[in-house]
Amino acid sequence: MSKRKIIKIDDAKCNGCGLCIPNCPEGALQIIDGKARLISDLFCDGLGACIGHCPEGAIITEEREAEPYNEKKVMENIVKQGKNTIIAHLKHLKEHNETEYFQQATEVLKKKNIEIPHEAISGGHGPLPCGCPGTMVKDFSAEDKDSTQKQGKTASMPSQLRQWPVQINLVPPFAPYLNNADLLIAADCVPFAYADFHNELLKGKILLVGCPKLDDISVYEEKFNQIFKNNNVKSLTYVRMEVPCCFGMVPVLKKAIAASGKEIPFEEIVISIKGQMKPKLTER
């Protein structure tokens, strides 16, 4: 076991001024419950760039024996600091795309019967890192989708969309509406071709849309790996056009399901270029 330097914060001296935060290039510090916290050993290089910016002298570096980074051991310490520190740490892992460490952290929480704060870490109260308000995660599944029956036959048909955004590349893998969801993955030509898309295919499901021909399929593979591993997906339906290029999504989805180690029911639906549903192909 080798030693390495890492910062240490004296809670008694820290007044929560936050001057250390912008001077931590790794983003390892946050003010939580009025005190500066090192939210993850993983992102502290021990160089102490933050030290000179603490007016109270509350930050020092210490050298201690350290095993190779172990998320489960780190999480054991994080848990002791309370819910807000847990949320900050999980957000930190997610923002740095540390999917494996995130999974290990949530396993610790499950063993301790601590609720995983999916909504708090999902970023659902603001836009994605690109900054565009149009990517803000929204869940409106609780709204009434049967208003036509109340308004009469002359009323326009309501949308069955339950969330936003819908593009595969924009949906965060930890969005709260993905958990315990029936997912509908749709090739983006399908809603234009199939007239009853909303009522027959989309109703009651969470929608993800993309084009396996024009988009980067390798990005899809990683996205679905994260979604299936970190959420309880109740079922998966892929609806595509009959053209060959649409088939490219099928092996990606099946590979991601297999990698998750979960039994996720899968169904494939094919729509003809004339807008007709063809006989169902695969179910498992």
CATH of domain 138-283: 3.40.50
- Give the separation between CA 115 and CA 126, rounded to whole angstroms: 22
pLDDT of residue 144: 58
- Cα of 104 vs its chain's centroid, Å: 15
Alpha-carbon separation of residue 52 from 57, 64, 104 (angstroms): 8, 21, 34
In this prediction the pTM is: 0.53
pLDDT of residue 238: 97
Extents of the domains making up the chain: 1-68, 70-121, 138-283
Local structure of 258: helix, strand or coil: helix
Could you tell me which of 156, 157, 154, 158 has the C-alpha nearest to residue 144? 158
pLDDT of residue 259: 92
pLDDT of residue 69: 62
pLDDT of residue 167: 92
Check if the beta carbon of residue 39 is closer than 8 Å to that of residue 78.
yes
* Cβ-Cβ contacts under 8 Å for 97 (sequence gap 6 or more): none
Q: Look up residue 156 and give its DSSP letter.
A: P
Looking at 43-135, list the stretches that DSSP marks H as alpha helix, in order from N- to C-terminal side: 71-80, 83-95, 99-111, 118-121
pLDDT of residue 284: 46
Token pair recorded at residue 119 = 């909504």
Q: Which residues of the chain have pLDDT under 70?
A: 1, 25-27, 43, 45, 66-69, 95-98, 119-120, 122-155, 281-284
CATH of domain 1-68: 3.30.70.20
* 233-241: strand order across its sheet: 206-210, 181-187, 233-241, 266-271, 282-283
1-68 and 138-283 share one fold? no
